[in-house]
Structure 1
Amino acid sequence: MDATFWATVALVIFLAVVFYLKVPGVIGKSLDERAKRISDELEEARRLREESQQLLAEFQRKRKEAEKEAAEIVEAAKREAELLVAEAQKKTEDYVTRRTALAEQKIGQAERDAVNEVRSSAVDLAVEAARALLAGKVDTKADGDIFKASLQEVKSKLN
């Protein structure tokens, strides 16, 4: 009996014990359970991936909406700023126009006052010069006669 015979006998006994204890079924069942667990994990991973893609798409959509809204807010602010600048320019122009008109009126009034003052001074000087000339040339009798003639002329016009 050589060693090969005993190795073969030991192998047959080992295989008999393995089949008697249903080790191939247990190993198959264990492998099936593991395959099912792996399949479930793959399905869960696939579901999670789809959910994450949906969330990513939703967040990207929200980001685009937020960017659009921010752009609209910036545009509205620019329009409002332009309106404020235009309104300020118009108010400034109106103010300058009113102030210019007021200044021109004051200048015109000052001019008229100055002309009237010069005329008044000229009339006063002319009257004084005429009185001085007439006082030297006219006698009192002639003055009385001129006065009486003027008085009669006024009375005749009143009647």
Structure 2
Amino acid sequence: MANLTLLLAEGTNEPTAFGLDATVWVSLAMLVFLGILVWKKVPAAIGAMLDNRISEISKQLKEAEGLRLEAEALKGEYEAKLAAAAKEAEEMRARADAEAQALVAKAKSDATALIARRKQMAEERIAAAEANALAEVRTAAAQAATEAAAKLIAEKHDAATDKALVDKAIASVAKS
């Protein structure tokens, strides 16, 4: 180890070729490599490739912008359709409410008319029953009066009284 340290400290000889050290050779190789790249037009090819990629990306950005605008237009269209559908639904609800109110009003008027008709029919039946009962009472009263009159006549009249009544009836018919 001591020998290695001593060699480094004294300075070492670096390898050379044709009197040029490694740094010069690396620099020359680099210049030759760059020269070949320029001679084969590699920077132009790289530039063309980058330009193509830039144009492709630009084209994609334009397409994306167009798609974004189309999506916004569709969004606006669907928002308008949604608003129209909401308005139509509100109109349908309003019509349904109006129809329901009309049906309720009609049902009330129909029920009132039905009640009035049934009341009228009941009153007519009551009146008919009263008239029938009155006729029955009159018939019964007439029959009772006839029977009572016949009984009274039978009890209180004799042939002489009947002769006087018949003569009186004949006289009144003769005057007429």
Number of aligned residue pairs: give it. Answer: 157
CA offsets 1:5-50 (integer angstroms, 9 cap, x no match): 1011111111111111122222122212211111111111011100
* 1:81 positional shift: 2.8
Q: Could you list the runs of 5+ residues in structure 2 that have no partner in the other structure?
A: 1-19
In the alignment, the residues of structure 2 paired with residue 9 and residue 134 of structure 1 have an alpha-carbon distance, to the nearest angstrom, of 176
Q: Could you list the runs of 5+ residues in structure 1 that have no partner in the other structure?
A: none
* 1:77 positional shift: 2.5
Which of 121, 141, 164 is the aligned partner of 1:145? 164
Which of 47, 50, 54 is the aligned partner of 1:28? 47
In the alignment, the residues of structure 1 paired with residue 22 and residue 62 of structure 2 have an alpha-carbon distance, to the nearest angstrom, of 52
Could you say which structure has the larger radius of gyration? 2
Q: TM-score of the superposition, structure 2-length normalised?
A: 0.81
2:20 equivalent to 1:11: no
In the alignment, the residues of structure 2 paired with residue 24 and residue 142 of structure 1 have an alpha-carbon distance, to the nearest angstrom, of 167
**Partner of residue 82, structure 2:** 63
Q: TM-score of the superposition, structure 1-length normalised?
A: 0.89
Report the aligned-residue RMSD.
1.6
In the alignment, the residues of structure 2 paired with residue 144 and residue 77 of structure 1 have an alpha-carbon distance, to the nearest angstrom, of 91
* 1:126 positional shift: 2.0
In the alignment, the residues of structure 1 paired with residue 132 and residue 163 of structure 2 have an alpha-carbon distance, to the nearest angstrom, of 38
Secondary structure of the residue that 2:131 maps to in structure 1? helix
Secondary structure of the residue that 1:28 maps to in structure 2? helix
Tell me which amino acid in the other structure corresponds to 1:95: L
**Partner of residue 87, structure 1:** 106
More helix by percentage: 1
Tell me which amino acid in the other structure corresponds to 2:121: L
Out of 1-10 and 145-154, give the one that drifted further.
145-154
Percent sequence identity is 38
CA offsets 1:96-118 (integer angstroms, 9 cap, x no match): 21122112111111111112211
Q: Could you list the runs of 4 or more consecutive aligned residues of structure 1 that deviate by over 4 angstroms after TM superposition?
A: none
